[in-house]
Amino acid sequence: MSYALQDSATMLRRNLRHALRYPSMTIATIAGPVLMLLLFDYAFGGALGTGIGGAASDGGHYIDYLAPGIILMAATSGSVATAVAVCTDMTEGIINRFRTMAISRSSVLTGHVVGSTIQTLVSIVFVIAVALALGFRPTAGPGDWLAAIGLLVLVTFALTWLSAAFGLVTSSPEAATRCAGCSWARPSATAPCSRSAGAPPSRSSATCGRAGRSTARARASRNSHGAFGQRGSGLASPVYAS
Protein backbone atom coordinates (compact mmCIF):
# COMPACT_ATOMS: atom_id res chain seq x y z
CA MET A 1 0.00 0.00 0.00
CA SER A 2 1.35 3.43 -0.95
CA TYR A 3 2.02 6.15 1.58
CA ALA A 4 -0.87 8.25 0.24
CA LEU A 5 -3.37 5.42 0.85
CA GLN A 6 -1.94 4.75 4.30
CA ASP A 7 -2.19 8.43 5.24
CA SER A 8 -5.72 8.62 3.82
CA ALA A 9 -6.74 5.58 5.89
CA THR A 10 -5.26 7.24 8.99
CA MET A 11 -7.21 10.45 8.33
CA LEU A 12 -10.35 8.40 7.72
CA ARG A 13 -9.97 6.76 11.14
CA ARG A 14 -9.44 10.21 12.65
CA ASN A 15 -12.67 11.54 11.15
CA LEU A 16 -14.69 8.48 12.13
CA ARG A 17 -13.43 8.81 15.70
CA HIS A 18 -14.43 12.48 15.68
CA ALA A 19 -17.89 11.44 14.52
CA LEU A 20 -18.15 9.03 17.45
CA ARG A 21 -16.80 11.46 20.05
CA TYR A 22 -18.84 14.44 18.82
CA PRO A 23 -22.02 12.82 17.47
CA SER A 24 -24.17 15.94 17.16
CA MET A 25 -23.49 16.48 13.45
CA THR A 26 -23.80 12.76 12.75
CA ILE A 27 -27.13 12.56 14.55
CA ALA A 28 -28.39 15.61 12.66
CA THR A 29 -27.30 14.09 9.35
CA ILE A 30 -29.13 10.84 10.09
CA ALA A 31 -32.16 12.14 11.97
CA GLY A 32 -33.06 15.05 9.66
CA PRO A 33 -34.24 13.04 6.63
CA VAL A 34 -35.91 10.45 8.87
CA LEU A 35 -37.90 13.15 10.65
CA MET A 36 -38.91 14.68 7.31
CA LEU A 37 -40.09 11.26 6.15
CA LEU A 38 -42.17 10.75 9.28
CA LEU A 39 -43.56 14.29 9.14
CA PHE A 40 -44.74 14.13 5.55
CA ASP A 41 -46.07 10.59 5.79
CA TYR A 42 -48.01 10.93 9.03
CA ALA A 43 -48.86 14.66 9.12
CA PHE A 44 -49.47 15.38 5.42
CA GLY A 45 -49.80 11.91 3.89
CA GLY A 46 -53.57 11.86 4.04
CA ALA A 47 -53.97 15.21 2.25
CA LEU A 48 -51.07 15.02 -0.22
CA GLY A 49 -51.51 11.32 -0.92
CA THR A 50 -55.10 11.61 -2.14
CA GLY A 51 -55.20 10.74 -5.80
CA ILE A 52 -51.64 9.34 -5.97
CA GLY A 53 -51.98 5.79 -7.18
CA GLY A 54 -55.22 5.24 -5.32
CA ALA A 55 -53.66 6.03 -1.96
CA ALA A 56 -55.86 5.60 1.03
CA SER A 57 -56.44 8.28 3.59
CA ASP A 58 -53.86 6.71 5.94
CA GLY A 59 -51.04 7.37 3.47
CA GLY A 60 -50.39 3.72 2.69
CA HIS A 61 -49.37 4.31 -0.93
CA TYR A 62 -48.14 7.84 -0.48
CA ILE A 63 -44.93 6.51 1.08
CA ASP A 64 -44.07 4.89 -2.28
CA TYR A 65 -44.12 8.35 -3.85
CA LEU A 66 -42.47 10.19 -0.95
CA ALA A 67 -39.58 7.87 -0.05
CA PRO A 68 -37.43 8.40 -3.20
CA GLY A 69 -37.51 12.17 -2.71
CA ILE A 70 -36.46 11.88 0.94
CA ILE A 71 -33.68 9.44 -0.03
CA LEU A 72 -32.33 11.99 -2.50
CA MET A 73 -32.62 14.67 0.17
CA ALA A 74 -30.51 12.55 2.53
CA ALA A 75 -27.87 12.10 -0.17
CA THR A 76 -27.54 15.83 -0.81
CA SER A 77 -27.93 17.28 2.68
CA GLY A 78 -25.37 15.03 4.37
CA SER A 79 -22.45 16.74 2.65
CA VAL A 80 -22.79 19.93 4.72
CA ALA A 81 -20.91 18.27 7.58
CA THR A 82 -17.85 18.00 5.34
CA ALA A 83 -17.71 21.75 4.78
CA VAL A 84 -17.96 22.37 8.52
CA ALA A 85 -15.28 19.81 9.40
CA VAL A 86 -12.82 21.02 6.76
CA CYS A 87 -13.32 24.66 7.71
CA THR A 88 -12.83 23.79 11.39
CA ASP A 89 -9.51 22.12 10.61
CA MET A 90 -8.42 25.09 8.50
CA THR A 91 -9.26 27.71 11.12
CA GLU A 92 -8.17 25.95 14.33
CA GLY A 93 -4.52 25.35 13.39
CA ILE A 94 -4.46 21.57 12.96
CA ILE A 95 -3.60 21.98 9.28
CA ASN A 96 -0.44 23.89 10.21
CA ARG A 97 0.60 20.95 12.35
CA PHE A 98 -0.12 18.52 9.53
CA ARG A 99 2.08 20.58 7.20
CA THR A 100 5.07 19.91 9.45
CA MET A 101 4.50 16.15 9.27
CA ALA A 102 5.57 13.79 6.53
CA ILE A 103 2.08 12.95 5.31
CA SER A 104 0.36 13.20 1.97
CA ARG A 105 -1.34 16.57 1.50
CA SER A 106 -4.35 15.03 -0.19
CA SER A 107 -4.92 12.56 2.66
CA VAL A 108 -6.60 15.18 4.87
CA LEU A 109 -9.32 15.96 2.35
CA THR A 110 -9.62 12.32 1.32
CA GLY A 111 -10.26 11.30 4.93
CA HIS A 112 -12.92 14.00 5.31
CA VAL A 113 -14.68 13.12 2.05
CA VAL A 114 -14.67 9.35 2.55
CA GLY A 115 -15.78 9.67 6.18
CA SER A 116 -18.63 12.02 5.32
CA THR A 117 -19.67 9.77 2.43
CA ILE A 118 -19.90 6.82 4.82
CA GLN A 119 -22.03 8.85 7.25
CA THR A 120 -24.33 9.96 4.44
CA LEU A 121 -24.74 6.39 3.18
CA VAL A 122 -25.61 5.31 6.73
CA SER A 123 -28.27 8.05 6.74
CA ILE A 124 -29.66 6.74 3.45
CA VAL A 125 -29.80 3.21 4.89
CA PHE A 126 -31.75 4.51 7.90
CA VAL A 127 -34.19 6.35 5.63
CA ILE A 128 -34.77 3.25 3.51
CA ALA A 129 -35.25 1.09 6.63
CA VAL A 130 -37.79 3.50 8.12
CA ALA A 131 -39.58 3.81 4.77
CA LEU A 132 -39.83 0.03 4.50
CA ALA A 133 -41.23 -0.09 8.02
CA LEU A 134 -43.84 2.52 7.03
CA GLY A 135 -44.99 0.49 4.01
CA PHE A 136 -42.55 1.46 1.23
CA ARG A 137 -42.77 -1.33 -1.32
CA PRO A 138 -40.67 -0.55 -4.42
CA THR A 139 -41.13 -2.63 -7.55
CA ALA A 140 -37.51 -2.32 -8.74
CA GLY A 141 -35.46 -5.41 -9.43
CA PRO A 142 -31.93 -6.17 -8.24
CA GLY A 143 -30.38 -4.48 -11.26
CA ASP A 144 -32.43 -1.33 -10.72
CA TRP A 145 -31.45 -1.26 -7.05
CA LEU A 146 -27.76 -1.58 -7.93
CA ALA A 147 -28.07 1.24 -10.45
CA ALA A 148 -29.89 3.46 -7.93
CA ILE A 149 -27.33 2.73 -5.20
CA GLY A 150 -24.46 3.47 -7.58
CA LEU A 151 -26.05 6.76 -8.60
CA LEU A 152 -26.62 7.76 -4.97
CA VAL A 153 -23.00 6.96 -4.11
CA LEU A 154 -21.72 9.02 -7.04
CA VAL A 155 -23.97 11.99 -6.20
CA THR A 156 -22.97 11.85 -2.54
CA PHE A 157 -19.27 11.56 -3.37
CA ALA A 158 -19.38 14.47 -5.84
CA LEU A 159 -21.31 16.82 -3.54
CA THR A 160 -19.04 15.91 -0.62
CA TRP A 161 -15.97 16.99 -2.61
CA LEU A 162 -17.70 20.27 -3.48
CA SER A 163 -18.52 20.78 0.19
CA ALA A 164 -14.85 20.19 1.03
CA ALA A 165 -13.97 22.95 -1.43
CA PHE A 166 -16.40 25.29 0.34
CA GLY A 167 -14.73 24.42 3.62
CA LEU A 168 -11.33 25.37 2.22
CA VAL A 169 -12.34 28.84 1.07
CA THR A 170 -14.69 29.97 3.86
CA SER A 171 -13.49 31.79 6.95
CA SER A 172 -15.69 30.17 9.62
CA PRO A 173 -17.78 27.03 10.13
CA GLU A 174 -20.93 29.18 10.08
CA ALA A 175 -20.00 30.56 6.66
CA ALA A 176 -19.24 27.05 5.42
CA THR A 177 -22.67 25.90 6.59
CA ARG A 178 -24.35 28.78 4.78
CA CYS A 179 -22.42 28.25 1.55
CA ALA A 180 -22.98 24.51 1.34
CA GLY A 181 -26.51 24.72 2.73
CA CYS A 182 -27.71 27.41 0.34
CA SER A 183 -26.11 25.66 -2.65
CA TRP A 184 -27.89 22.30 -2.48
CA ALA A 185 -28.67 21.15 1.06
CA ARG A 186 -31.39 23.69 1.82
CA PRO A 187 -33.10 23.42 -1.60
CA SER A 188 -33.14 19.64 -1.25
CA ALA A 189 -34.45 19.89 2.32
CA THR A 190 -37.37 22.02 1.18
CA ALA A 191 -38.04 19.85 -1.88
CA PRO A 192 -40.96 18.01 -0.25
CA CYS A 193 -42.55 21.39 0.46
CA SER A 194 -41.93 23.22 -2.80
CA ARG A 195 -41.33 20.68 -5.57
CA SER A 196 -42.57 17.32 -6.78
CA ALA A 197 -40.98 15.25 -3.99
CA GLY A 198 -44.08 15.61 -1.81
CA ALA A 199 -46.84 15.76 -4.43
CA PRO A 200 -47.09 15.58 -8.23
CA PRO A 201 -46.73 18.92 -10.06
CA SER A 202 -50.17 18.50 -11.63
CA ARG A 203 -51.77 18.09 -8.21
CA SER A 204 -49.78 21.00 -6.83
CA SER A 205 -50.94 23.15 -9.72
CA ALA A 206 -54.55 22.20 -9.10
CA THR A 207 -54.21 22.96 -5.42
CA CYS A 208 -52.58 26.32 -6.14
CA GLY A 209 -55.33 27.08 -8.64
CA ARG A 210 -58.05 26.42 -6.07
CA ALA A 211 -56.21 28.52 -3.51
CA GLY A 212 -55.86 31.35 -6.02
CA ARG A 213 -59.54 31.26 -6.88
CA SER A 214 -60.45 31.30 -3.19
CA THR A 215 -58.16 34.29 -2.63
CA ALA A 216 -59.70 36.11 -5.59
CA ARG A 217 -63.23 35.49 -4.30
CA ALA A 218 -62.27 36.73 -0.84
CA ARG A 219 -60.69 39.88 -2.30
CA ALA A 220 -63.77 40.55 -4.46
CA SER A 221 -66.00 40.09 -1.43
CA ARG A 222 -63.99 42.62 0.57
CA ASN A 223 -64.03 45.11 -2.28
CA SER A 224 -67.77 44.83 -2.76
CA HIS A 225 -68.36 45.16 0.98
CA GLY A 226 -66.29 48.33 1.04
CA ALA A 227 -68.11 49.78 -1.96
CA PHE A 228 -71.54 49.17 -0.46
CA GLY A 229 -70.33 50.43 2.87
CA GLN A 230 -69.51 53.80 1.32
CA ARG A 231 -72.92 54.23 -0.25
CA GLY A 232 -75.17 52.94 2.50
CA SER A 233 -75.62 55.21 5.51
CA GLY A 234 -76.02 52.31 7.95
CA LEU A 235 -73.03 50.32 6.65
CA ALA A 236 -70.60 53.20 6.30
CA SER A 237 -67.45 52.96 8.37
CA PRO A 238 -66.55 55.82 10.76
CA VAL A 239 -63.90 57.06 8.34
CA TYR A 240 -66.32 57.41 5.46
CA ALA A 241 -69.07 58.68 7.67
CA SER A 242 -66.91 61.55 8.86
User: What are the domain boundaries of the chain?
Assistant: 3-199, 200-242
Cα dihedral sign, 203-204-208-209: negative
* Whether 194 contacts 116, CB under 8 Å: no
Mean pLDDT of the chain: 74
CA atoms within 13 A on the CB side of 232: 8
CA distances from 73 to 68, 109, 126, 228 (A): 9, 23, 13, 52
Distance CA 205, CA 209 (A): 6
What is the torsion angle, in degrees rounded to the nearest 10, for the CA atoms of residue 170, residue 172, residue 178 and residue 180?
Answer: 50
Instruction: Report how far Cα 224 is from the mean position of its chain's Cα atoms.
Output: 45
pLDDT, residue 205, reads 47
Q: Is the pLDDT of residue 203 over 80?
A: no
pLDDT, residue 147, reads 92
Average pLDDT of the segment spanning 15-37: 84
Identify the band that residue 126 occupies on the pLDDT scale cut at 50, 70 and 90.
Answer: very high
pTM assigned to the model = 0.68
* Whether 187 contacts 77, CB under 8 Å: no
